[in-house]
Each structure stands twice: as structure tokens, then as C-alpha cells.
Amino acid sequence: MGAHIDRRRFMSLGLAGAASAALGTTAALTTAGTAEAATGTLIAADEFDGPAGSAPNPGIWRYDLGAGGWGNGELETYTDSRRNSALDGAGNLVITARREADGSYSSARLKSESTYTVQYGRIEARIRIPRGQGIWPAFWMLGADIGQVGWPACGEIDVMENVGYEPAVVHGTVHGPGYSGAAGISAAYTNPSGAAFADDFHVFAVDWRPDSITWSVDGTAYRTVTRADVGSNPWVFDKPFFVVLNVAVGGGWPGSPDASTRFPQQMTVDWLRVYQNA
């Protein structure tokens, strides 16, 4: 089944970045339709083009702000400052986690909530993750109805998470009612070269269909979760989701930074693309 996009919001995730907002939806979809890939037809993307130090496209990206642990005992305060999220002028978004002068931590958590949603398709991003004990980068999605039904009823699809003490391992997970938090349905992928994922860019993806979600790294699939895997619990993945990119510091899973952790740490995102299922 093909990808379902919210066409009223599609232009906020345009192939030409902010400039595409000036195009009509039909023209944009035609432009997108000319980009073919083995994974299907490219329907939306952010290539993160723009001047160094500028904000990521405000037509796409909003910010979660503040501290309080975010339900995971995290230590950072999320900001919308360019010190924590900015384009680098070379076609990348850079999210920077910092240790501030007072010993506190700051970072950024960007989301496409209320600007862009997707239902089904191949959602992928080319990312170089940060490194270090207590560092927790993630590329993930949340059900767009989170404001109405809360978490985990909204559903969560974690395309990629890494905890710094496992430099060569990433995780893909789904959360929903009856299978959330530590009980999320999860799988791990180890870099076949043994190298830290922070050493280079890698493409992290999910192929999301009505009855299944398959995770891959650099084109190698490593886990498929199906409707049957949630048993008698609700399968909450047949509705629109929005995208989240963030770097957390600390928390129950990664633990806190220690003397070996170097700051600032950066997650560099080359592009984010959404394809219609082939």
C-alpha cells in the first residue's frame, strides 16, 4: 500500500527546503514524483540546505523545550537556540549537546508535529551520530494524536536510537499500549565492521506498511514487527505520525555522562526523505 501523506501539510517538507513552500501542492508533487529510487517514489524530503548558522526550515521543524527529564530521567534542557540546532552551510542539520558553564546540559529536540505527518512509506535519514557515555541520539516518530490520546496510545516508532556505551550498536523499537517503555518491541543492529556508528554517516530507515514495520541500516534489514507481534494489544500504526530528531543527555537507559564524555557532541543529519512504498 502506498504512503498516505497529509497533503495540506506536505509543502512544509519540500524537496527544495523552504523555497518549495512557494510552490503549489500539485507542482510539488510532480517535482517529487520525478525522483525515483529502488525504495519507491520520493514524496517528501528535507535536504537541510541553507546558510551556515541558520535555523532549520521553520515550515517543517518545531521544538520541544525545557527540562524535567522527559519521562526518562534525562538531564538536558532542550532549547531552540542556534547553539543547539543549526544548519552547517554544507547541507546538514547539526544538533549539538553542550555542557554549560554551570555544569548543566543543553541540547535540541526537533519535531514536525503540526507541520508534516506521514502514514506508511519508507522513512529514512542519513545521520552521523554523536558519541560518549550518557549520550543518547534518536530519530523517531510519534502518533500525531498524542495530544488527544497521550502516550503510549499514540504509538511510537523509533527508527534509530543509540546509547553511548554501545558505540557499534543501534536499536529499532515500537511502543504502544501494552508494549511500551522497557516492554517495547525492540531489536538491535551491530555495525558489521565493528566501527562506532559515530565514525561515519549511515542511513537509518523503516519500511512502514499497514501490517508491518521493517528496520534497516545502510540498506540491510534487521527486524520486522508485524501486527501479530503485539498479540491482543492494539496495533496503533495505521494513522499519521510526525518525525522527531534529538540528542538526549543522561537518562535511565544511557546513564549519566562521566569523566570520559567530551562536550560538545553533535548529531549531523545530511538528509531526511520519505518514499512511497514500492
Cell for 88? 552547517
Does residue 160 contact residue 172 with C-beta atoms inside 8 Å? yes
Q: Are the CB atoms for 40 and 121 separated by under 8 Å? A: yes
124 is catalytic: no
Cβ pair 119, 155 in contact under 8 A: no
Let me know if 156 is a catalytic residue.
yes
31: left (phi over 0), alpha (psi -120 to 50) or beta: alpha
Which is catalytic among the residues 74, 76, 124, 161?
161
The span from the CA of 28 to the CA of 11, in Å, is 7
Q: Which candidate in 47, 124, 156, 166 is catalytic?
A: 156
Q: What Cα–Cα distance (Å) separates residue 79 from each residue in 19, 138, 247?
A: 25, 16, 12
Question: Which residues does the annotation mark as catalytic?
Answer: 156, 161
